[in-house]
Amino acid sequence: MAIKITVRPSATATATVDIKESTKSEVEQVFTQLKANPGSEAHVKFDTEDERLAWTREARAYAQTRKAGALRFRVLPSKNLPANELRFNLSDDLEKNGERNGRRRSA
């Protein structure tokens, strides 16, 4: 039996997201704190679920396109959290930055 498969191009992180300066600053502050405290995670509470979704979209786009080197933005499982709260982690994205185990990959 034949199946129909459609491949669609995905949008880049910045194609549809305007990143506020406040979001950039918040991501940088959280990343600095998480880097200083390995094994920790971030927890943010928003007024509404829509605010959480918009901030997550902006933060993820900024993390992927950050000039100082891309970050990996991971939303952590949160079964018992209210819809307006978010647990996440940020780390250096070694693959996007062209590094492996702290060393640059050769071309």
Domain boundaries, the chain: 21-99
**Rounded CA separation 49/30 (Å):** 20
Mean pLDDT over the full length of the chain: 82
Predicted pLDDT of residue 52: 93
Least confident of 42-46, 85-89, 94-98: 94-98
Name the residue among 25, 26, 61, 22 with its Cα closest to residue 44: 26
Compute the average pLDDT of residues 78-106. Answer: 76
With cut-offs at 50, 70 and 90, classify the pLDDT of residue 12.
low
Residue 82 in tokens:
């209210």
Compute the average pLDDT of residues 40-45. Answer: 93
With cut-offs at 50, 70 and 90, classify the pLDDT of residue 107.
very low
The pLDDT > 90 percentage for the chain reads 51
Q: Is the pTM of this model over 0.75?
A: no
